[in-house]
Structures are given as structure tokens and as C-alpha cells.
Structure 1
Amino acid sequence: MFSTKAQLLKRTPQNGTDRENFLSLLVDEYLNTTSYDAKCQVLANLANFAYDPVNYEFIRKIGVLDIFLYIVKNDNDCKLLLFSTAGISNLSIDPVNIEYIQTNLGLGPLINLLDYKHNEVVANIITILMNLYNDKTISEIKSSGVRLLMENYSKSDDKILSNLATIFHEVISIN
């Protein structure tokens, strides 16, 4: 459920941790833990916080989006990619985040993940690409390689991928 800053302040106990501080603690835990399971859990939590627009400014300010982008650029681990792409997908509806993603990641690493072995990661990538579709990205997103992959996904037995690929074709055909 979306929140406002006033609602968050109202629900935060007087001696409680505010949202920005809590997210900052999660980032510290992610960066400092050596436990793979803990990294996955923290990353999943951060991706969930990326759902609420009231957190967007905090997420950019304390480096959560940077962590997601770093993983997409540099990691092959399925779980880490799943949580990072989910977080980016949640964040990619905001114009400030769109600009940040385009400036600090670009489309190349995202497009490279379109043929990843995990369907949920691919679904997140398709969603991100639709959200990033604009005048600056049109040529990369409408490239023949992307279109071919989307055509293949539209015939997939996985209904989520099939539906997303069909919507993707509709979105890029309209513009």
C-alpha cells in the first residue's frame, strides 16, 4: 500500500527508527554481511521497499538503486538478479529513477539479461524496458534482437512471459 510521509511519521513510534534510517541500516547490512542468505533476504526487503513511491528519494539517496544496478551489471547469481531486477522494476515507473537508471546503467546490461535462464528475471527485465521506453531509448528497445526475443516470448508456454511480450509489442508499436 502506498504511503505518504505524514502517514509514515504517524505510524513511526516516538523512539522508533524512521524509514530512511531503517533503509540505511539494511544497506549497511547488505554491504557488510558475508552470508549469502542474509544478502538475499536484505535485497528482497529492499526490493519490497522500492514498491512505495514515498521511499524513492531515500532509495536513491542511500544507494539502494546503486546496489540494484551494480548487481545487474556485475552479477550472475539468480537470486540476487531476481531481487535486483524486481527492485528496479518497482522503481522504473518514476521519471527521476528512469533518468537515473538510463544514466547509470544504460540499456545494454538489461537487454543482455533478456535471454536469462530464469523467467521471473526476464519478466522483470521486460517490464523495466517498457517503463524505460522513450525517445532516448527507442532505437535500442526496438532493435531486431530485442524484437526477436519478444516474438519468441510471446509464444512461450509461460503465460506471464507470453503476456508481457505481447504487451511489449503493443507498447513499442504504438510509439
Structure 2
Amino acid sequence: MFAHLDVESSKIQLQKRTPYNGTNRENFLSLLVDEFLNTTSKDAKCQVLANLANFAYDPINYVYIRDVGVLDIFLYVVKNETENKLLHFATAGICNLCLDPLNAEYILKHLGLTPLTALLNCKSTVIEANILTILLNLYNEQTKLELQSDEIKQIILDHSMSEDKMVSNLAKIYLNDIFKLNNQL
């Protein structure tokens, strides 16, 4: 009950901050989705995806993000793109959105773990860090077997020795939380 009041209060605050003739968030996100879908420029796609990922930081946008298809764009990029800039922004968006149980369920239903775990070896530390964070947040009874596989364990062990501290620390958290390898690193 209290969470609902907080969301409603936040929506009221957003309405107060939106100029009278201003575009509301849902409309703005919808315009960004249209731009992403209709542009042929890779640079424009990257810019739009970066903007969409920025909106994923704020939980008040989660409903709008689902409603206008932003989450679907992130999932599409992870499944179909190889461009690191696009993957960076898509995984950053997913990383922020997967904290919400409805978004997590949607991600698992429409993307699954395979495209995500495939990115663990993408050679971009930012993307790898995003993926490690996503997998930590998506870990549950449903995903347990896949996220505790020997193959994933070896990749995570390798990442725990990364020179990149962010990747190394996230991998150690994964090993500790998922594989229960306390103090064995």
C-alpha cells in the first residue's frame, strides 16, 4: 500500500515539474522508440538507445518503458546486434530494469539467459559488468540451474581475476552469492 502511494506521489511530482505544454514521459519515450525504429543511422540509434537507457534509471519510468516497448528494444539489441556501443546501452538499460520483478519476469520470458550469458565474453568490460549485474539480479529458483552451470562458473572464475576491478569485484560477488565460494578466491 505504501509503495503505491510513493509511486502516485512521484507521478504527481512529475506532473508538477512538466511544463503546461510539455511532453509527458510516456509520449517522449514513445517518440524515442519511434526514432530508434525508423532511423537508419547507427549514430542516431546509439544516441536514442543511450537516452532510453537513461530513463531506465528511474523506477517511475518502468511502466512507461514496458508500455511503449523500450524493454523490447533492449532485448532485441541483445539478441541481434554485435555493435558494442548498442550492446553497452541495451545492457545498461536491462541492468537497471531487471531490479523490478515485472521487468525481470518479462526479460526471462522474452529473452532468456542464453543471449545474456553469451555476452560474458564480449571483451568489453562495461558490457561484462552489466551482464554480471543482470545475472545476479535475475538469479532465482527458475534460473538457478543455468546460472550455476560449470561453464558459467568457469567464465565467472576467469572474470574474478580480471584486471578491471569492477568486473573482478562483480565476479567475486557472483561466486560468493551464487556458488557460495566464500573466502576461496
Q: What range describes the TM-score normalised by the shorter chain of this pair?
A: over 0.9
| Mapped pair 1:85 → 2:84 | no
Deviations 1:59-96 (A, max 9, x none): 01100000000110111110000000000000010000
Which residue in the other structure is 1:30 paired with?
Answer: 36
Deviations 1:91-115 (A, max 9, x none): 0100000000000000011011111
Size of the aligned set, in residue pairs, is 173
Matches of residues 153-172 of structure 1 in structure 2 within 5 Å? 153-172=159-178
1: CA distance, partners of 2:169 / 2:72: 29
**Segments of 4+ moved more than 3 angstroms:** none
- Separation in 1, partners of 2:87, 2:139: 21
Asked if structure 1 preserves the Cα contact closer than 8 Å seen for 2:121 and 2:128, the reply is yes
Residue 169 (structure 1) shift: 1.0
Report the Cα offset of residue 134 of structure 1.
0.2
For the pair 1:152 / 2:162, whether they are aligned, the reply is no
Mapped to 2, the partners of 1:4 and 1:129 lie a distance apart of 29
2:62 is the alignment partner of 1:39? no
- Identity across the alignment (%): 61
Distance in 2 of aligned mates of 1:30 and 1:20: 15
Q: 1:113-161, CA deviations, whole angstroms, 9 ceiling, x for partnerless residues?
A: 1111211111100000000000000000001111101101111111011
1:171 positional shift: 1.5
Aligned letter for 1:147? Answer: K
The two structures, once aligned, show a CA RMSD in angstroms of 1.2
Q: Distance in 2 between matches of 1:12 and 1:71?
A: 31
Question: 1:94 — aligned with what?
Answer: 100
